[in-house]
Structure 1
Amino acid sequence: MHRIDTPGATEDGRFKESPFPATRVGADWLNALQAEVETVITHVTGGNMELVKANNAQLLAAILAMIGRAIDASRTDINGDLAALSNSVGLLLTAMQNTINGLFVLTTDEATSQRTITFAGGLFILKMGYFRETITSEVTRTVNFASPFPGGCWHAFTQGVIASASNLRDLWPQVIPPLTTAASFTVQFQADDTNDMALSGFDWWAIGN
Structure 2
Amino acid sequence: MARNDDRRHGLADAGLAVLAREGARGLTHRALDREAGVPTGTASNYFRSRTELVRALADRIGQRLAPDPDTVARLREGPGGTAGFARHVRDIVRRLTAEPEVTLALFELRLEAARRPEVAEVVGEWLRAGFAADVAYNEAAGLPGGAPEIALFHYAVDGLLLDRLTLSIDPATPAGDVVDALVAGLLGREGQDAGATSSTR
TM-score (norm 1): 0.26
Q: Which of the pair is proportionally richer in helix?
A: 2
Q: Answer 1 or 2: which has greater strand percent.
A: 1
Higher relative contact order (CA 8 A, sep 6+): 2
- Structure possessing the higher radius of gyration over alpha carbons: 1
